[in-house]
């Protein structure tokens, strides 16, 4: 099936997909707050480990440093954080690199929380937040020096629409950085396909693309110097951590779901947290960072 056919099929199957993404984050906010991010980093993403980085919270913050280095972000840049969650990366960029950041997310409660934290930290003039879809951003052409998407593109039905919009929003010479889950093939055995379906559904991801599909989407949009680098080596420990937590939580999750105290979305989130690492171990996907430049 071609990329066009696949995207059209997904759009037919999920006509209100963005509502599902919003529902997922509304339902799982307790899980993220309890087992993953803290009040400082506010991270919804995986951590990047390396020399001198041994703690979970440090690894989560280091993910921002890794992407900022790839995108060559400098003081004074204007950055779009596409899929900003509750503002963790936006606030990090504003605080540590003295850039102006606009964070966008379709999730209303995330915008409210990000704005409140920005105000509390005195960063409201550098980091602002809007409720918006990153495939249809309400800003003029050439509004940004950098477009940043940290584990958010996975929620788009057609990744190509994001790459086209990113190109439109960037100034000439602007940079794109995308951290994403990248499938290794379109052809798996039956069990691996079933596990992939559970992972995708549990995290409200309609699909994840292959490396070639990401690169082609960026190049077809008009980007130059497109690169996709495997960063599984720095994220594997974080990926494994979530898997271990999901195994530990499984008995209580099953009980509470059976009793009606945990919703389908909350239950499926735990299932997906198990499947992502099992699939990684099977070689079904890897953690990649895409970088590109607008000519």
267: CATH: 3.40.50.150
Beta bridge partners, 130, equal 104
Burial letters 21-57, b for 16+ CB under 10 A, else e: bbebbebbbebbeeebbeeebbbbbbbbbeeebeebe
- Exposure of 18 by Cβ count < 10 A (0-12 exposed, 13-18 middle, 19+ buried)? middle
Angle at 81 between CA 176 and CA 49, to 5 degrees: 80
pLDDT of residue 90: 98
pLDDT of residue 195: 98
- Ranges of residues in the chain whose predicted pLDDT is under 70: none
pLDDT of residue 12: 81
- Report residue 90 CA to chain centroid gap: 13
Question: Residue 73's closest CA among 175, 201, 189?
Answer: 175
Angle at 58 between CA 56 and CA 62, to 5 degrees: 115
Residue 215 token pair: 């690169």
- Report residue 89 CA to chain centroid gap: 11
Neighbours of 281 (CB within 10 A): 12
Question: Residue 178's closest CA among 275, 45, 279?
Answer: 45
Q: What are phi and psi of 71, to 5 degrees?
A: -85, -5
pLDDT of residue 187: 95
pLDDT of residue 259: 87
Give the CA distances from residue 214 to residues 82, 109, 167, 199, in Å, rounded to whole numbers and listed in that order. 16, 30, 14, 20
Using left for φ > 0, alpha for ψ between -120 and 50, and beta otherwise, residue 204 falls in left
Number of domains comprising the chain: 1
Structural domain including 20 reads 3-293
């Amino acid at each position: 099936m071609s990329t066009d056919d696949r995207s059209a099929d997904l759009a037919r199957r999920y006509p209100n997909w963005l509502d599902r993404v919003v529902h997922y984050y509304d339902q799982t906010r307790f899980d993220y707050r309890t087992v993953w991010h803290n009040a400082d980093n506010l991270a919804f993403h995986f951590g990047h480990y390396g020399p001198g980085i041994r703690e979970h919270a440090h690894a989560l913050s280091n993910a921002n440093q890794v992407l900022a280095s790839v995108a060559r972000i400098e003081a004074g840049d204007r950055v779009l954080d596409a899929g900003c969650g509750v503002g963790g990366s936006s606030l990090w960029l504003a605080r540590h690199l003295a850039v102006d950041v606009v964070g966008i997310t379709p999730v209303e409660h995330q915008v409210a929380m990000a704005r409140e934290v920005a105000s509390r930290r005195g960063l409201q003039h550098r980091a602002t937040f809007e409720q918006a879809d990153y495939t249809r951003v309400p800003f003029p052409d050439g509004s940004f020096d950098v477009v940043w998407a940290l584990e958010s593109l996975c929620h788009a039905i057609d990744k190509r629409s994001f790459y086209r919009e990113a190109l439109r929003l960037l100034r000439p010479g602007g940079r794109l950085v995308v951290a994403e889950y990248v499938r290794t093939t379109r052809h798996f055995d039956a069990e691996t396909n079933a596990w992939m379906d559970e992972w995708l559904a549990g995290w409200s991801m309609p699909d994840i693309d292959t490396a070639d599909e990401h690169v082609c989407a960026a190049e077809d949009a008009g980007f130059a110097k497109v690169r996709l680098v495997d960063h599984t080596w720095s994220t594997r420990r974080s990926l494994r951590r979530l898997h271990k937590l999901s195994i530990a939580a499984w008995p209580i999750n099953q009980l509470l779901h059976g009793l009606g105290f945990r919703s389908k979305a909350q239950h499926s989130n735990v299932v997906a947290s198990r499947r992502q690492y099992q699939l990684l171990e099977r070689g079904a996907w890897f953690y990649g960072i895409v970088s590109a430049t607008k000519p």
